[in-house]
Amino acid sequence: MSQPPLSDAARAGHSPFAGEKARALIPQARLAGPMPWVLAIMVALTVLAAGAGLSLGNLAGDARSELSGGVTVQILDADPRSRAEQAQAAQAVLQGMDMVAQSRIVPQEELDRLIEPWLGNAGDAETVPVPALIDVRLGGKATPQAIEALADALAGTAPDARIDAQSSWLQPVFSALRSLQYLALALVLLLAVTSAAAVFLAARSALGNNRATIEIVHLLGGTDGQIAQLFQRAVLVDSILGGAAGLVLGLAAVLALGYQFAALDSGMIASAGLDWIDWIVIALIPVFGVLLAVATARFTVLAAVRKML
């Protein structure tokens, strides 16, 4: 037998083990497999949860800044005449104060409209004593010190005045919104963990299905990194497909819900829109999804391969 045509090429090799030939080592199911679809659902749900969380944050932020300097002065006097006099006197005092940016006595018609849902339009100021209201906007925030200063100023002219920061009325609403935001954040984290778990299981399954091939590559001198890269590439493509599909699905759902809420024509809901920075955050979700999937696949494969000598 003639001499074997041995090659020294392997000793001078410097190209990474990549490309079509490397991909061929681990057969891929692509869209026929569950991975892209699972990731698409996860990304879509994450986009939805993040969209909800961000719009709730905007809603709470807008409401809080709008109400931060708002104060309501109530004149709690059962006598309509005395009530009106105290209201006028209090209004005069308030308008003379530097800390007050704006104040107005809420007209009786507006008060009637406010209480109509509860008392109907049968009552009047005589039968149902409704406090006179003065809507006050402070130059700064309605801190307890500011409220106390107002109370001191009105003590002489309107002894029946009760002064409340408007934000304190909405405190339970803010608490509820904050809880919903935390819930949305928890959902996003939960979905991230679930996505990582799905990739972990898929990578483990792929490792099991390709164990013989991996052992051969390992015994032929393949490094842990090379073996991990074989799977990383597969997960990268799957997660890009899944992430893109999930983003489209999630955005469609967010936009549809946005139009539904916009149709309610409520002042509070109107401020729950998404800013451009929010859209960027949402657009980054599939990018993080891809990074998470690839990192999970890498660590899963490395952990498994390290059990070999």
Partner 1 sequence: MSGGDGEVAFFDNVGLRYGTGKEILTDISFSLWPGSFYFLTGASGAGKTSLLKLLYLAQRPSRGIIRMFGSDVITLPRSRLPGFRRRLGVVFQDFRLVDHLSAFDNVALPLRIAGVDESELVQPVSDMLEWVGLAHRAEARPETLSGGEKQRVAIARAVIGRPDMLLADEPTGNVDPDMALKLMRLFESLNRLGTTVIVATHDVHLLQNVRSSMIMRLDKGRLADPTGALRYPPRSPAAGKTPR
Residues that bind partner 1 in the complex, under the rule CB under 8 A: 1-17, 19, 21-22, 24-25, 27, 212-213, 215-224, 226, 306, 309
CA dihedral 77, 79, 81, 82 (to 10 degrees): -40
Question: What are the beta bridge partners of residue 138?
Answer: 100
**Cβ pair 150, 163 in contact under 8 A:** yes
Task: Give the strand order in the sheet containing 70-75.
Answer: 100-105, 132-138, 70-75, 161-165
**Cβ pair 235, 36 in contact under 8 A:** no
What is the smallest separation between the CB atom of 29 and partner 1, expressed in angstroms? 13
SS in 3 state form for 55-117? HHHHHHHHHHHHHCCEEEEEECCCCHHHHHHHHHHHHHHHHCCCCEEEEEECCHHHHHHHHHH
User: 197 vs 308, which CB is nearer to partner 1?
Assistant: 308
Closest C-alpha among 237, 81, 67 to residue 160? 81
User: 11 vs 81, which CB is nearer to partner 1?
Assistant: 11
Identify residue 220 by its one-letter amino acid code.
L
Task: Name every residue whose Cβ is closer than 8 Å to that of residue 62 and which is 6 or more positions away in sequence.
Answer: 271
What is the smallest separation between the CB atom of 32 and partner 1, expressed in angstroms? 16
User: 65 vs 205, which CB is nearer to partner 1?
Assistant: 205
What is the smallest separation between the CB atom of 211 and partner 1, expressed in angstroms? 12
What is the smallest separation between the CB atom of 208 and partner 1, expressed in angstroms? 16
* H or E segment and range at residue 245: helix 224-262
What is the smallest separation between the CB atom of 232 and partner 1, expressed in angstroms? 16
What is the smallest separation between the CB atom of 259 and partner 1, expressed in angstroms? 50
**Cβ pair 279, 58 in contact under 8 A:** no
CA angle 220, 226, 232 (to 5 degrees): 140
What is the smallest separation between the CB atom of 4 and partner 1, expressed in angstroms? 5
SS3 state of residue 290? helix
What is the smallest separation between the CB atom of 229 and partner 1, expressed in angstroms? 11
Task: Name every residue whose Cβ is closer than 8 Å to that of residue 63 and which is 6 or more positions away in sequence.
Answer: 170, 173, 174, 268, 271
User: 112 vs 224, which CB is nearer to partner 1?
Assistant: 224
